[in-house]
Amino acid sequence: MSLHYDLHSHSIISDGSLSPSELVRHAHQSGVDVLALTDHDTTDGLAEAGLEAARVGISLINGVEISVSWNKYTIHIVGLLAQVDNEILQQGLSGLREFRIWRAQEIAKRLHKAGIPDAYEGAQVYATGSIIGRVHFAKFLIEKEYARDMREVFKRFLVHNKPGYVNGQWASLEDTLRWIKAAGGIAVVAHPARYRFTATKLKLLLGEFKELGGVAMEVVSGNPTRDEIEHMSKRAQTQHLLASRGSDYHGPENAWLKMGRLQTIPASCQPVWEHEVWSSLLPAVIQQPAVVL
Ligand code: AMP
Ligand code: MN
Ligand code: MN
Ligand code: MN
C-alpha cells in the first residue's frame, strides 16, 4: 500500500489555526502517513510537531514556506528536509519576519486612514505564533464585522488596490534558493496554479528556479481540478522538475479543504519522495515514529 504524503501545511505558529501537535494528530487521524509542516517564514513549530509525530506514529518532514518577491509578484517557495539549526536559513527567515512586523504596522496605518482603528493590536490578538500576516488582520476585521468571511475580507481589504494592502518586499528567488541549499534542503515551487501566470511567465519562473538549483514543483496542491493537475504535470515534465503534493491545510474552519484527501500525482511525473535526493536527505532530518503501528 502506498503512503499518503502531504508536503504542505500550516499551524498557529504562522497563519494556521491548529497548534503543531493538534495539526499532527489531525493529519494522523485523516490518514496522512508523511506530513511536512511548512509554516510561513518560520520553522518554530517543527520541534513540537516532531515530538507529537513520534508519539502518534507518523513521519514529520521539516518544512518552511518562504515568501518571495519575483519580478513584481509575490510567490511562495517551500523548503523541505532542511536542517533547521542552519544559520544562513535562520538569518534569512528572521529578516522576513522583521519585514512582516513593519508591514503589519503599515497595514494598520492604512486601515486607520480608511476609518478602521486599532487594527495592529487587533491582529496581534490572533498572531500568537512567530509571525504576523494578513490572515491575522482578516480575523480581526471579521470579528469587527467589516466582512463576513475570509474570502470577502481579503477581496475588500487585503489585496492589491484595497485599503489594507502593502506591497511585499520579500526574499529574492536567488537568496531563497541559497538559504534552502545552505541548510541542505530541497526547494519546491508552491501552488504554481494560484499565481495565474501566463504560460510564458510560468515557464520563465520555473526556468529560473531550476537554474538556481530548484528541485520540484507542486503538481497537486489543495483541491485542484483534473485539468490543473494535468497542466502542472506537463509543466513539471517540460522543465525537468520533480512533482510534489500538498494540501496547504490551514485549519478546520476551511470546510472545503480536508486533510488526507489529496489526489495522486500522474504517473508521467516523478514524485519528489521517490527520487534519490529525497532518500539521501531523509535519515538526517526525518522524525522517525517511535512506534510503527
Ligand atoms: P501573507 O503572507 O501575510 O501576505 O498572507 C498570505 C496568506 O494569506 C496565504 O498563505 C493564505 O493563508 C492567506 N490568503 C491569501 N489570499 C487569500 C484569500 N483570497 N482568501 C483567504 N486567504 C487568503
Ligand atoms: Mn497562509
Ligand atoms: Mn502559499
Ligand atoms: Mn501555504
Per residue in 105-162, pLDDT tens? 999 999 999 999 999 999 999 999 999 999 999 999 999 999 999 999 999 999 999 9
* 49, 37 Cβ separation under 8 angstroms: yes
In degrees, rounded to 5, the angle at the alpha carbon of residue 19 between the alpha carbons of residues 64 and 168 is: 40
> How far apart, in whole angstroms, are the C-alpha atoms of residue 291 and residue 54?
7
In degrees, rounded to 5, the angle at the alpha carbon of residue 291 between the alpha carbons of residues 245 and 12 is: 50
Q: Is 149 in the pocket of ligand 1 (CB under 6 A)?
A: no
Residue with CA nearest ligand 1 atom 5:
134
How far is residue 31 CA from its own chain's centroid?
20
Q: Is 141 in the pocket of ligand 1 (CB under 6 A)?
A: no
Q: How far is the CA of 48 from the centre of ligand 3 (A)?
A: 22
**What is the reported pTM?**
0.96
Closest CA to 58 of 27, 82, 85, 79: 27
Core vs surface per residue 265-280: b (16+ CB within 10 A) or e: bbeebbbbbeeeebee
Q: How far is the CA of 42 from the centre of ligand 2 (A)?
A: 12
DSSP type of residue 43: -
Q: How far is the CA of 267 from the centre of ligand 1 (A)?
A: 31
> How far apart, in whole angstroms, are the C-alpha atoms of residue 236 and residue 206?
9
Q: How far is the CA of 132 from the centre of ligand 3 (A)?
A: 15
> How far apart, in whole angstroms, are the C-alpha atoms of residue 58 and residue 29?
10
* 23, 264 Cβ separation under 8 angstroms: no
Q: How far is the CA of 293 from the centre of ligand 4 (A)?
A: 29
Tell me the residue type at 137.
F
> How far apart, in whole angstroms, are the C-alpha atoms of residue 27 and residue 14?
17
| Number of separate helices (H) and strands (E) present in the chain | 10, 7
Asked if the model's pLDDT at residue 189 lies above 60, the reply is yes
Asked if the model's pLDDT at residue 288 lies above 70, the reply is no
Q: How far is the CA of 115 from the centre of ligand 4 (A)?
A: 31
Residue 283 has what pLDDT?
65
Residue 292 has what pLDDT?
42
96-105 residue pLDDT tens = 999 999 999 9
Starting from the CA of residue 99, give the closest ligand: 1
43-67 residue pLDDT tens = 999 999 999 999 999 999 999 999 9
Q: How far is the CA of 248 from the centre of ligand 4 (A)?
A: 5
Q: Is 154 in the pocket of ligand 1 (CB under 6 A)?
A: yes
Residues around ligand 3, an ion, CB closer than 5 A: 76, 190
Local confidence band at 293 (pLDDT 50, 70, 90 cut-offs): very low
235-262 residue pLDDT tens = 999 999 999 999 999 999 998 899 999 9
Residue 223 has what pLDDT?
92
Read off the C-alpha cell for 170. 520579500
Core vs surface per residue 117-130: b (16+ CB within 10 A) or e: eebbebbeebbebb
% of the chain residues with pLDDT over 90: 92
Place of cell 522543465: 239
> How far apart, in whole angstroms, are the C-alpha atoms of residue 52 and residue 246?
20
Q: Give the ligand 1 atom nearest the CA of 250.
A: 12
> How far apart, in whole angstroms, are the C-alpha atoms of residue 122 and residue 137?
7
Q: Is 55 helix (H, G, I), strand (E, B) or coil?
A: helix
Q: Give the ligand 1 atom nearest the CA of 67.
A: 2
Q: Is 130 in the pocket of ligand 1 (CB under 6 A)?
A: no
Residue with CA nearest ligand 1 atom 11:
135
Q: Is 8 in the pocket of ligand 1 (CB under 6 A)?
A: no
Mean pLDDT of the chain: 95
